[in-house]
């Protein structure tokens, strides 16, 4: 029986395993050094915040793996030997494979800051990071202040985590406004406000110079490069992005860039070795997507796709239209299609913000053809199916806004803002569109 | 603010401790007036005789330090009283043993039994002869003959005892929880009964004030609206920690006392007398009134907590307002007010089979004896269960009842909300659920049929009731068993008492027959579903964790599948806690496909690929 070995029990590896099992009877082994069983990395924050226990982050009960004949091994792979088709573990043990799937995910970036390996400095990626956070920042008596370096999605989650235990947070963000490499200025500014409203000490446009230690080698303070200011703190969270976790492959013949190089079939340059999830890097970016996509659903999609290929049904990885979501403290964010931080040459924008300053939508469309390109939505939930269909059908912005009520996904009884949105749109664009009432027939056709 | 919050907590704890203390305060004295009040609903001879018996035994005006020693003597007293009243009545109107001997010897000659109406008439006075004739005429029908004297004697003795018992029936005081409670409540004396209003304030009043201080300060301590589940799993009270265990012990004890030993908490009912007096002049609260007050007040206080906690979520606000409305108006006020107009004091929203006494004889009589309006209310009961319930479930899902109207649900959604995460999400729990809730529904249906037939017999042929059996099952027995195991133990003791252990909906999930009934409709014929938002789910598990019904919402959401489950009560919390906007409760056209099927684009993956994945499923 063919033995499929998967390194990494994250969403991509596990999805691949599950689908291979659905489609075939092959022997499947998943290896991970992090945890015995699959858990949702995205939920790490909720454990520290006390919303959940670790067990709640596990999407499958422990009996699931045996029942589905998926073997689990907890070990760290130090080496891949492609000629003998063998893995070497840190214990010296080895394991044979017929096909190998690399799904090792990411690791936090470190940019060579002085003091970055001190006790009390941590990323927020693995379960072990959570454990060390629990150790160094169990409460605001042990941890009087935390400094977070890097203003991305994980950074703000870490800030929210610490805040839930009333630990004062200083948040160093290199950009002039929060996450403005991705978010347009208006949304970015809204989030700046919201962060400050939560009494998080947000420092924009600053870099970390160095981290200082006390006499025991533990974090004592940090220095800000631009101002030279020293901020005393007990922990430092490094959340300046992630990069593929592939150092252990460096000695092999597998082609590496920033990640493991793969083609659209998710194959590496070595036969029978594949890579999926955060650690895979496309030779050529797909559409406007980045070559490395470190998000949850792409890992899942790659896993599903590769399972097809491995089970004799070769398929290209074809992610559909871009979408994503996040939550900034109390403000939910969703996006469908593309709304770049800065409009491209051909793009026009429409922005509406609610008077309470916590809800907005930002629509991008083609100046000339008026084709809808993408939407950012904050504080209003929108229906994925609707936008996916509208993007497929290349609908105009006018059409999309006319049918906006169909796409509203807020819970019942929520105040709806479509009318206000359309009025603003009509004034700005000198159009005469009217809002169509929600229609189930249409919704189901999306 | 923090100070006020903590003070509130202390005030609340003090009020609870004080409430418990009140049970041990005051003393108990049996007086002629307390006896009279306790049995004012019975023939005056009852209290008169009881007073006499008490006096003879030296129990009258004796003071007891607590309800337990008091009850010891009350038990003895009741026993003696019952013997006395039965004897007295037998002497006056029943058939004494001398008279029995007379009949016996008249009916047996030389070892042969000849029993007939003449024999009776010869042996007894007119009244008594009629009694015996009515009770034993079957013993001398043409097809009944007695070979042996012993058999005859046995039948006769049994019958005569029964006749005598029946004569005494309305005078006998059965030693049950009701009698015990009535007599204890009226015999309580001392500090509490003299200061009811003061104690009402010190217990209930302080409790409400303290908890509101604790709750309302949350508005200022967490000024930004949003889901705030921080620290839930570090909190001893709601994570099966020691505080939770204490609360559990307290709740279970309360239910056991309320259902089975109400006399022990007679002081509490005395404390709420002033509230009862709002409805009836000088009203005396029963344990059910006490329970109603506690229930309603807890719901209001914890409902305010809901309004604050979910103030950003309009669905939660409207839903909470709705359960509070139905509790205050229907379950509490109307139940008190209807009887003032000579109508049965029923909870008009309580639908069969949750209301398992709907067809019990006394209940039906209550309705039928209350004129046209009473009959209409009885009719409404049928309409509610057989038409309104399924039709509304079709349109809105069972949530319209479970989390918008129902009292059990209302308590679960307010008082129980802090415990929602304790429900068991494992597959095994789902299996157990199906093995308990549907059998209970069947039990309820069988019970109702048997009880209903019995009621029908009683009402259709009042002079000739059958032996209360149908399908070989005794109507009163099955009703009593159901009431004990399902109505009291499951719905009360486990359903609410176990909040801190099993979560807030264990009754609704594992026990409620109405939920089972609506669940079947919801699963197979309803417009309601929880729609999943395409590929946005990040499998974080918030939705499953906070599902009070233990539904593994995530297992559907991460596949992009809608949630169509019999047990979903539509509380909407999964949608509220989801950080990615994945879940929406919807009533939409139901053509089967759109409700259940995994839609094509769910993963955001290319359409073609997805079709192919579908083929391979
Ligand atoms: C705090 C946080 C929040 C996030 N929130 C979101 C979000 O909201 N939405 C979203 O789309 N994405 C989010 N992400 C990103 C998302 O979690 C990742 O994209 C996803 O988990 C990647 O999955 P993966 O299967 O590729 O790898 P991973 O989940 O990283 O799994 C790889 C596994 O392989 C193991 N491993 C690595 N090397 C070896 C080796 N040599 N030997 C043995 N085992 C090895 C690792 O220990 C790890 O367990 C978040 C990430 C973090 C850290
Ligand atoms: S539906 Fe929402 S809450 Fe549930 S697992 Fe998915 S993202 Fe988390």
In tens, the pLDDT along B240-249 reads 999 999 999 9
Domain co-membership, B11 together with B77: no
Report the percent of chain B where pLDDT is more than 70.
95
Q: What is the mean pLDDT of chain B?
A: 90
Q: What is the mean pLDDT of residues A220-225?
A: 97
Contact A330 B545 (CB under 8 A): no
Report the percent of chain A where pLDDT is more than 90.
97
Mutation for testing the B interface, residue in A9, A16, A51, A376 having most B CBs under 10 Å: A51
* CATH number corresponding to A325-445: 3.30.390
Domain co-membership, B15 together with B32: no
- Tell me if chain B has a CB within 8 Å of the CB of A46: yes
pLDDT (0 to 100) of residue B126:
84
Domain co-membership, B210 together with B286: no
pLDDT (0 to 100) of residue A388:
92
Distance CA A378, CA A179 (A): 14
Q: What is the mean pLDDT of residues B553-569?
A: 94
* Domains A121-240 and A325-445 are alike in CATH topology: no
pLDDT class for B345, splitting at 50, 70, 90? confident
pLDDT (0 to 100) of residue B343:
87
Instruction: Read off the pLDDT of residues B260-281 as tens digits, 9 standing for 90 and up.
Output: 999 999 999 999 999 999 998 8
Q: Which of B230, B425, B608 sits opposite A164 (nearest CB)?
A: B230
pLDDT class for B112, splitting at 50, 70, 90? confident
Which residue range(s) make up the domain with B511? Answer: 223-617
- Tell me if chain A has a CB within 8 Å of the CB of B237: no
The answer to whether position B197 is within a domain reads: no
Domain ranges, ordered by start, for chain A: 3-107+243-310, 121-240, 325-445
pLDDT (0 to 100) of residue B158:
84
pLDDT (0 to 100) of residue B617:
42
Given a cut of 50, whether residue B606 has pLDDT beyond it is no
pLDDT (0 to 100) of residue B598:
56
pLDDT class for B98, splitting at 50, 70, 90? confident
Ligand 2 pocket member B575 (CB < 6 A)? no
CB B537 within 8 A of CB B581: no
Helix axes B427-460, B513-524, angle to 10 degrees: 110
Q: Given the cut 0.90, state whether the ipTM is greater than it.
A: yes
The answer to whether position B70 is within a domain reads: yes
Ligand 2 pocket member B582 (CB < 6 A)? yes
Instruction: Read off the pLDDT of residues A29-60 as tens digits, 9 standing for 90 and up.
Output: 999 999 999 999 999 999 999 999 999 999 99
Contact B581 A50 (CB under 8 A): no
Q: For residue A324, give the ligand 1 atom closest to its CA.
A: 11
CB A206 within 8 A of CB A117: no
Domain co-membership, B355 together with B232: yes
Among A76-85, A336-345, B128-137, B212-221, name the one with the lowest average pLDDT.
B128-137
**DSSP codes joined into one string, A41-68:** GGGHHHHHTTS--GGGG-SS-THHHHHT
Q: Please, which residues 533-552 of chain B have a Cβ atom closer than 8 Å to chain A?
A: 533-536, 538-542, 544-545
Homologous superfamily, domain A121-240 = FAD/NAD(P)-binding domain (3.50.50.60)
pLDDT (0 to 100) of residue B281:
86
Distance CA A242, CA A258 (A): 11
pLDDT (0 to 100) of residue A431:
95
Q: What is the mean pLDDT of residues B307-335?
A: 96
pLDDT (0 to 100) of residue A4:
98
In 3D space, the residue among B63, B66, B53 whose CA is nearest the CA of residue B24 turns out to be B66
In 3D space, the residue among A164, A154, A60 whose CA is nearest the CA of residue A109 turns out to be A154
In 3D space, the residue among B465, B444, B446 whose CA is nearest the CA of residue B456 turns out to be B465
How many angstroms separate the Cα of B506 from the Cα of each of B142, B217, B236, B492, B547? 59, 30, 20, 10, 12
Domain co-membership, B386 together with B371: yes
Q: Which residues pair with B563 in a beta bridge?
A: B530
Per the omega criterion (within 30 degrees of 0), is the bond before A169 cis? no
CA distance A426 to chain B (A): 28
pLDDT class for B463, splitting at 50, 70, 90? low
Indicate the number of domains in chain B: 3
Domain co-membership, B287 together with B419: yes
Nearest ligand to the CA of A40 is 1
Domain co-membership, B556 together with B467: yes
* Ligand 1 centroid distance, CA of A105 (Å): 5
* Ligand 2 centroid distance, CA of B22 (Å): 48
Q: What is the mean pLDDT of chain A?
A: 96
Q: Please, which residues 287-326 of chain A have a Cβ atom closer than 8 Å to chain B?
A: 296-297, 300-301, 304-305, 308, 313, 315, 318-321, 323, 325-326
Domain co-membership, B259 together with B333: yes
Instruction: Read off the pLDDT of residues B476-490 as tens digits, 9 standing for 90 and up.
Output: 999 999 999 999 999
Instruction: Read off the pLDDT of residues A124-142 as tens digits, 9 standing for 90 and up.
Output: 999 999 999 999 999 999 9
Q: Which helix or strand (DSSP H or E) is residue B87 part of?
A: helix B67-93
pLDDT (0 to 100) of residue B600:
45
Given a cut of 90, whether residue B93 has pLDDT beyond it is no
The answer to whether position B195 is within a domain reads: no
Q: What is the mean pLDDT of residues B193-219?
A: 95
Which of B168, B189, B210 delimits the end of a domain?
B189
Given a cut of 50, whether residue A269 has pLDDT beyond it is yes
pLDDT (0 to 100) of residue A326:
97
In 3D space, the residue among B9, B54, B46 whose CA is nearest the CA of residue B30 turns out to be B54
Instruction: Read off the pLDDT of residues B441-459 as tens digits, 9 standing for 90 and up.
Output: 999 999 999 999 999 988 8
Instruction: Read off the pLDDT of residues A326-369 as tens digits, 9 standing for 90 and up.
Output: 999 999 999 999 999 999 999 999 999 999 999 999 999 999 99
The answer to whether position B159 is within a domain reads: yes
Domain co-membership, B18 together with B119: no
Distance CA B584, CA A37 (A): 30
Distance CA B503, CA B77 (A): 44
When comparing pLDDT for B600 and A79, which is higher? A79
Domain co-membership, B417 together with B563: yes
Supply the pTM of this predicted model.
Answer: 0.92
Q: What is the mean pLDDT of residues B330-356?
A: 91
* CATH number corresponding to A3-107+243-310: 3.50.50.60
How many angstroms separate the Cα of B303 from the Cα of each of A181, A380, B12, B299, B407? 44, 26, 17, 5, 13
Domain co-membership, B428 together with B377: yes
Given a cut of 90, whether residue B95 has pLDDT beyond it is no
* In B234-272, alpha helices (H): 242-260, 266-271
Q: What is the mean pLDDT of residues B400-414?
A: 96
Domain co-membership, B451 together with B574: yes
pLDDT (0 to 100) of residue A99:
98
């Amino acid at each position: 029986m063919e033995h499929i070995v998967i390194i990494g029990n994250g969403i991509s590896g596990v999805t691949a395993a599950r689908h291979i099992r659905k489609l075939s009877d092959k022997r499947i082994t998943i290896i991970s050094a992090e945890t015995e069983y699959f858990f949702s990395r995205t939920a790490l924050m909720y454990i520290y915040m006390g919303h959940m226990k670790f067990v709640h982050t596990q999407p499958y009960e422990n009996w699931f793996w045996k029942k589905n004949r998926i073997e689990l091994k907890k070990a760290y792979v130090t080496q891949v030997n492609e000629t003998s088709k063998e893995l070497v573990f840190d214990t010296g043990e080895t394991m044979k494979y017929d096909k190998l799937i690399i799904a090792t995910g990411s690791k936090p970036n470190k940019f060579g800051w002085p003091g970055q390996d001190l006790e009390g400095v941590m990323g927020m990626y693995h379960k072990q990071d959570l454990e060390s956070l629990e150790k160094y920042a169990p409460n605001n008596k042990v941890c009087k202040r935390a400094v977070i370096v890097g203003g991305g999605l994980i950074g703000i989650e870490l800030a929210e985590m610490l805040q839930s235990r009333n630990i004062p947070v200083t948040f160093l963000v290199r950009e002039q406004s929060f996450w403005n490499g991705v978010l347009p200025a208006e949304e970015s500014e809204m989030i700046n406000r919201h962060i400050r409203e939560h009494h998080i000490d947000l420092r924009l446009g600053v870099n970390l110079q160095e981290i200082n230690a006390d006499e025991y080698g533990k974090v004592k303070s940090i220095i800000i490069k631009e101002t030279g200011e020293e901020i005393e703190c007990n922990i430092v969270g490094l959340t300046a992005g992630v990069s593929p976790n592939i150092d252990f492959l460096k000695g092999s013949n597998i082609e590496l860039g920033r990640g493991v190089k793969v083609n659209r079939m998710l194959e590496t340059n070595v036969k029978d070795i594949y890579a999926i999830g955060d650690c895979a890097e496309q030779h050529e970016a797909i559409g406007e997507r980045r070559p490395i996509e470190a998000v949850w659903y792409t890992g899942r999609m790659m896993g599903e796709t590769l399972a097809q290929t491995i089970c004799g049904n070769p398929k290209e990885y074809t992610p559909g239209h871009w979408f994503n979501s996040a939550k900034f403290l109390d403000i939910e964010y969703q996006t469908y299609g593309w709304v770049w931080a800065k409009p491209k040459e051909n793009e026009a924008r429409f922005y509406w913000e609610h008077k309470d300053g916590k809800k907005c939508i930002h629509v991008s469309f083609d100046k000339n053809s008026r084709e809808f390109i993408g939407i950012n939505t904050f504080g209003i939930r929108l229906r994925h199916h609707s936008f996916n269909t509208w993007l497929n059908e290349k609908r105009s912005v006018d059409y999309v806004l006319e049918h906006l009520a169909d796409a509203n996904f807020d819970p019942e009884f929520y105040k709806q803002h479509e009318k206000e949105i359309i009025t603003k749109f009509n004034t700005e664009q000198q159009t005469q569109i009217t809002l169509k009432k929600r229609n189930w027939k249409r919704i189901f056709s999306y | 603010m923090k100070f006020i919050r903590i003070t509130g907590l202390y005030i609340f704890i003090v009020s609870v401790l004080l409430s418990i203390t009140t049970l041990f305060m005051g003393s108990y004295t049996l007086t002629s007036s307390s006896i009279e009040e306790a049995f004012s609903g019975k023939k005056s001879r009852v209290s008169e005789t009881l007073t006499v018996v008490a006096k003879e035994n030296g129990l009258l005006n004796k003071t007891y330090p607590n309800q337990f020693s008091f009850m010891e003597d009350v038990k003895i007293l009741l026993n003696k009283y019952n013997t006395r009243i039965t004897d007295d009545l037998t002497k006056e109107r029943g058939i004494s043993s001398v008279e029995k001997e007379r009949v016996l010897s008249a009916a047996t000659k030389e070892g042969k039994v000849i029993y007939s109406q003449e024999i009776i008439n010869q042996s007894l006075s007119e009244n008594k002869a009629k009694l015996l004739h009515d009770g034993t005429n079957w013993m001398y029908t043409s097809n009944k003959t007695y070979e042996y004297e012993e058999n005859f004697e046995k039948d006769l003795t049994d019958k005569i005892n029964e006749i005598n018992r029946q004569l005494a029936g309305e005078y006998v005081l059965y030693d049950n929880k009701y009698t015990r409670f009535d007599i204890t409540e009226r015999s309580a004396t001392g500090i509490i009964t003299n200061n009811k209003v003061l104690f009402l304030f010190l217990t209930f009043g302080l409790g409400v004030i303290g908890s509101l201080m604790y709750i309302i300060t949350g508005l200022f301590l967490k000024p930004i609206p949003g889901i705030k589940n921080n620290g839930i799993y570090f909190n001893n009270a709601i994570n099966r920690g020691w505080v939770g265990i204490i609360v559990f012990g307290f709740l279970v004890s309360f239910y056991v006392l309320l259902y089975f030993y109400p006399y022990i908490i007679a002081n509490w009912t005395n404390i709420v007398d002033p509230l009862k007096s709002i409805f009836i002049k000088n009203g005396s609260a029963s344990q059910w009134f006490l329970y109603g007050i506690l229930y309603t007040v807890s719901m209001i206080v914890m409902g305010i907590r809901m309004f604050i906690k979910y103030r950003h979520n309009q669905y939660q606000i409207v839903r909470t307002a709705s359960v509070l409305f139905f509790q205050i108006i229907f379950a509490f006020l109307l139940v008190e007010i209807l009887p003032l107009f000579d109508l049965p004091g029923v909870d008009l929203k309580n639908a069969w089979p949750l209301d398992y006494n709907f067809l019990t004889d006394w209940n039906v009589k209550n309705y039928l004896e209350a004129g046209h309006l009473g009959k209409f209310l009885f009719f409404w009961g049928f309409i509610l269960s057989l038409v309104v319930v399924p039709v509304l479930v079709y349109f809105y899902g069972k949530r319209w009842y479970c989390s918008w109207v129902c009292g059990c649900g209302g308590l679960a959604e307010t008082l129980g909300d802090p415990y929602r995460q304790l429900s068991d999400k494992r597959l095994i729990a789902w299996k157990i659920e199906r093995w308990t809730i549907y059998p209970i529904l069947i039990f309820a249906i069988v019970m109702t049929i048997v009880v209903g037939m019995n009621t029908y017999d009683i009402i259709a042929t009042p002079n000739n009731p059958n032996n209360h059996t149908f399908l070989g099952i005794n109507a009163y027995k099955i009703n009593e068993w159901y009431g004990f195991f399902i109505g009291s133990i499951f719905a009360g003791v486990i359903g609410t008492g176990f909040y801190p252990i099993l979560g807030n909906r264990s009754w609704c999930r594992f026990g409620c027959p109405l939920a089972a009934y609506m669940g079947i409709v919801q699963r197979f014929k309803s417009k309601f579903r929880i729609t999943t938002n395409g590929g946005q789910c990040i499998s974080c598990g918030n939705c499953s964790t906070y599902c009070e019904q233990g539904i593994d919402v995530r297992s559907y959401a991460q596949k992009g599948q809608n949630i169509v489950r019999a047990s979903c009560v539509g509380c909407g919390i999964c949608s509220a806690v989801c950080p990615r906007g994945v879940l929406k409760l919807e009533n939409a056209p139901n053509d089967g496909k759109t409700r259940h099927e995994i839609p094509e684009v769910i993963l955001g993956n290319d359409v073609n690929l997805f079709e192919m994945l579908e083929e391979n499923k």
